[in-house]
């Protein structure tokens, strides 16, 4: 697998990032990308929300916006895949160019703006794979021109929740005006009460877990409010966090000044600090998915020790391809055994003990 990407990776990076991403999806759809044969290691298996995750490394939302290739990505070795963000109506997103490689920094900046084909097309694809197995989460967003955000999330739940292993309410993208304001205490309470009621009604039996995806750019007051609301409203998990609008001083790439959300290596420190803080604020009672700068065994393990039950990645594949998944999994198993753990669950939040 590493040889395959080593051959085509430099060719892919000769074209602009969005075109390259489209080509990657096409090759995956056509079955042209070799599958990775990763032997499951029992020390990495995790049971969460009544589901058995074969390993804790998942694909973050943003790669497969329209649920085109969840099964192909599961076959690359991911323990779970998250599709989206999906909005009720098709929307084209922000003007191009809107996706930028920061090669010197191992990073990406995007201002895509929830470009996707809408929930009806996604529903058809998810329904068609309903008996395929594997854990596939659905990340929901709102259309840019919708004033009543709750109504859009409810539409997404009604259409897609029956086919989702878990549902994510995304209020953290910096590229949809006003979206991050939904992280405030009162708007968040209103939103979560509405979507929880809709989710329970849409899937009354075997209701999928409800997760909230938050930004890393939060004040201490924001984090305290989110923790309180999440616990009070019975949210099943937090994804920490999305891209950042901040720009670390050490960025070297010429594209570093582009507007949008920054992901990849430079996000690791900030996102992990917020992850650790949210674990502490929720008393370890709310399962966390750590995302932001995961690109190696060491970064994945640091997220787990900081409080993440699962981790997600995306940006690192721009530079290293899917072979990085197997490398991380093999390394994680070694680190867990070296530290005397008999299961990954035992290491979650270890830095707090």
Active-site positions read 173
The count of other CB atoms within 10 Å of the CB of residue 14 is 8
What SS3 class is residue 333? helix
Cβ(26)–Cβ(338) under 8 Å?
Answer: no
Cβ(297)–Cβ(138) under 8 Å?
Answer: no
Count of residues in the chain: 353
Report the helix count and the strand count for the chain, using DSSP H and E.
Answer: 12, 13
Q: Which positions ≥6 away from 2 have C-beta within 8 Å?
A: 321, 323
The count of other CB atoms within 10 Å of the CB of residue 326 is 18
Indicate the pairing of strand 210-214 with strand 261-264.
Answer: unpaired
């Amino acid at each position: 697998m590493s040889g395959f990407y080593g051959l085509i990776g430099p060719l892919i990076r000769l074209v602009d990032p969005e075109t390259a991403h489209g080509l990657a999806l096409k090759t995956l759809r056509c079955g042209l990308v070799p599958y990775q044969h990763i032997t499951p290691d029992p020390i990495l298996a995790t049971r969460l929300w009544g589901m058995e995750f074969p390993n804790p490394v998942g694909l973050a939302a943003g790669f497969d916006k329209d649920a085109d290739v969840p099964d192909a990505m599961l076959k690359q070795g991911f323990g779970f895949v998250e599709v989206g963000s999906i909005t009720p109506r098709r929307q084209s997103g922000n003007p191009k160019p809107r996706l930028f490689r920061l090669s010197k920094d191992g990073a990406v900046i995007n201002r895509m703006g929830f470009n996707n084909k809408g929930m009806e097309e996604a529903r058809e694809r998810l329904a068609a794979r309903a008996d395929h197995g594997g854990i596939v989460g659905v990340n929901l967003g709102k259309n840019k021109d919708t004033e009543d955000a709750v109504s859009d999330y409810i539409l997404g739940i009604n259409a897609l929740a029956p086919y989702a292993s878990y549902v994510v309410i995304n209020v953290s993208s910096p590229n949809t005006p006003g979206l991050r304001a939904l992280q405030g205490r009162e708007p968040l309470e209103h939103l979560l009460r509405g979507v929880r009621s809709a989710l329970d009604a849409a899937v009354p039996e075997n209701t999928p877990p409800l997760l909230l995806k938050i930004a890393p750019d939060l004040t201490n007051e924001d984090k305290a409010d989110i923790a309180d609301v999440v616990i009070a409203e019975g949210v099943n998990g937090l994804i920490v966090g999305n891209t950042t609008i901040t720009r670390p001083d050490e960025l070297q790439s010429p594209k570093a000044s582009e507007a949008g959300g920054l992901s990849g290596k430079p996000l690791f420190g900030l996102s992990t600090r917020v992850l650790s803080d949210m674990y502490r604020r929720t008393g370890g009672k709310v399962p966390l998915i750590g995302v932001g700068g995961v690109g190696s065994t060491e970064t994945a393990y640091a997220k787990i020790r900081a409080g993440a039950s699962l981790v997600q990645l995306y940006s690192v594949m721009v530079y290293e391809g899917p072979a990085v998944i197997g490398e991380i999994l093999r390394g994680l198993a070694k680190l867990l055994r070296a530290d005397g753990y008999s299961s990954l669950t035992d290491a979650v939040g270890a830095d707090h003990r």
